[in-house]
Structure 1
């Protein structure tokens, strides 16, 4: 009996040590977040172990686990019809409200891109499935949840092209008519890497001006928008805060841009934007200059990280770091002037907080109406954690505020 008690005690101590993280006292439900993060870290560690042993790519392992736990089939309900289909060859799940309305009634439409670092996740995951069901019901809207191609099989610009193709296809007059969607009431939206794709697509469509139907609004949820500065105040402040760690975000960028993970330390040190590096134009640096673009309350006591010397390796190997289709924050002002009004959600305890805040500032300077929605107790990914068993109060609040904004502006 005594060895059993001892072993149990040791395992309990080890589990507590693995789970516990020092978190800011302002973060929502910290113990619940610690447990959720421990689960995610376990998945990451299993993936890394399989990768190191040559058994499988670490992302394949994580996505396999997610597919078994989270991905569900297209199950319709009394209020929402759910269908898996494809738009221009890109897989998508469509959510249509089934409420009885008068004949010829036109609905709202939303094109949504899920997050996951361009490498993980799916619009078929339970969290996104439930989010889109709520949106379809509350907004009386047709929601198109796009499953774009993922790394490591697909790298930039393929996911971007998938997003652009699916969005353009849905905006065709005959497709909107098929789903009874009002062409004057269509939004584009996404969270995290999906917010990146939504911003990039809406910029491209505004710049090209080829489609007769335009998106009325864009709604970006804690979007990732640049990879030139991994030392903004939010990166410095939240580098070790779940759910998205600073080093993990650098790895996601390298997966997306097909770079070698050996470049992670160089990215984190801002080696690629060192003062002696002429490969990054001053115009690009100015678009991520948080000392100008962020309110002082978010700059706090942090300082810019600008090494005097760097190497040309990063930009030479990853020229897409300067491509606006990968980094929408780098868009020219004339392009920004043409995009629709925006809703931008940010969270205090998120490395990507400043990406969203800087983009909001640049859009406002270009004359675009922007609604900023900031959550002092929020963390990265919180909006999709609004359903049991990973249900956070900030997730529920942020989800309903997001839907309410769409109700009022779409």
Structure 2
């Protein structure tokens, strides 16, 4: 018995020591590699969230190295482990639309008329995220706007490369549109919505459906700090916010490459801009250019980037970055001018800020009505933290309130 007790104490001591080392290592990594600008309110909270994410990644890597599970699988599990109970204000049901898992949220309160329908595509860089990770957000949208919300559990990279996620979101949306009568939704008030990678998917789905005469026309699209292009990772916001949690510049390239090819072999070329030939970039310069970013957004610093040559071999593996279904900012004007009323949320301290600003300009130049809300003290991922274990931020609540106000106005 004494031996068992001794072994137990030893095990606990090793576990505690390992945990302390893990946390200290995560803190050191956070302080050494990240930068939280003075404009971010409650920076300590942001560091706590970031340290938790780093710790999960480190533990996942250890488990991968000893053959228990992959790092990606562990991080996915840690992000979505929390399950919520019954919501007294909502009917919640898991279904499949065209073999795509979806979760439907329907308000219990009676409605005198047909409700709005919101197709929601979660963020996570096409690699992470699930129906569970955005459960709180989808519940809030359904409750506050009294809408029917359909959250889409699309296939993830690198197991399922582009265009798998896009196709799942598109097919689920079309299925919903064709069966709208079963959910008490007004066919004239269907909205696509997504955050980060989900904003990319919402924009791509909206463009694809813009010319369809056999389906209801989308009422609106809501794009929450979307990633919309992969031609230029040296725009002002990418330079200014390259080390700001929760999304580093290098991680954007990592996620894009995982979604495109399932590997990161050409990460350096993407970051330096030598993954797309200069002549191809020049073709899109009217849309993807720092010249289209208002000067006030360059005040925190910007160094113009020189166009670099690209080898044919690299371009062969990267050329699909020019497809609008992957990078919606590159769609032709003939498509863009058909898009529905739009809401775009951007954050000052977000590498993807300029993607949203460039798309805002494209939409407005093509006569699309845009409601733009900019969080001066916001960072990437802040909306998803609105109800995250006491680690919410006032800016995130303001952003979510503005999204709700826009939804209610439709």
Aligned counterpart, 2:405: 404
Shift of residue 51, structure 1, vs aligned partner: 4.6
Which residues of 2 match residues 25-36 of structure 1 at below 5 A? Answer: 25-36=38-49
Distance 1:41 1:306 in 2: 33
Distance 1:308 1:199, change over 3 A: closer
Which residues of 2 match residues 55-204 of structure 1 at below 5 A? Answer: 56-68=69-81, 70=82, 72=83, 75-102=85-112, 105-125=113-133, 128-172=134-178, 175-204=179-208
TM-score (normalizing by structure 2): 0.89
Distance 2:281 2:272 in 1: 18
Distance 1:211 1:49, change over 3 A: farther
Aligned counterpart, 2:228: 225
Native 8 Å contact 1:344 1:356 kept in 2: yes
Shift of residue 79, structure 1, vs aligned partner: 1.1
Aligned counterpart, 2:5: none
Q: 2:28 aligns with which of 9, 17, 23?
A: 17
SS of the aligned residue for 2:102 comes to strand
Structure 2 stretches of 5 or more lacking a match? 1-12
Structure 1 stretches of 5 or more lacking a match? none
Shift of residue 397, structure 1, vs aligned partner: 1.3
SS of the aligned residue for 2:377 comes to strand
Aligned counterpart, 1:236: 239
Aligned counterpart, 1:253: 256
Distance 2:263 2:313 in 1: 11
Shift of residue 101, structure 1, vs aligned partner: 3.6
Deviations along 1:287-342, one digit per CA (max 9) or x if unpaired, are: 21121x21111133413312443333332112211111000000001100001011
SS of the aligned residue for 2:284 comes to helix
Native 8 Å contact 1:259 1:317 kept in 2: no
Native 8 Å contact 2:118 2:193 kept in 1: yes
Shift of residue 84, structure 1, vs aligned partner: 0.6
Distance 1:325 1:140, change over 3 A: same
Native 8 Å contact 2:276 2:318 kept in 1: no
Q: What is the number of equivalent residue pairs in this alignment?
A: 389
Deviations along 1:16-45, one digit per CA (max 9) or x if unpaired, are: 534545421101211110111111112223
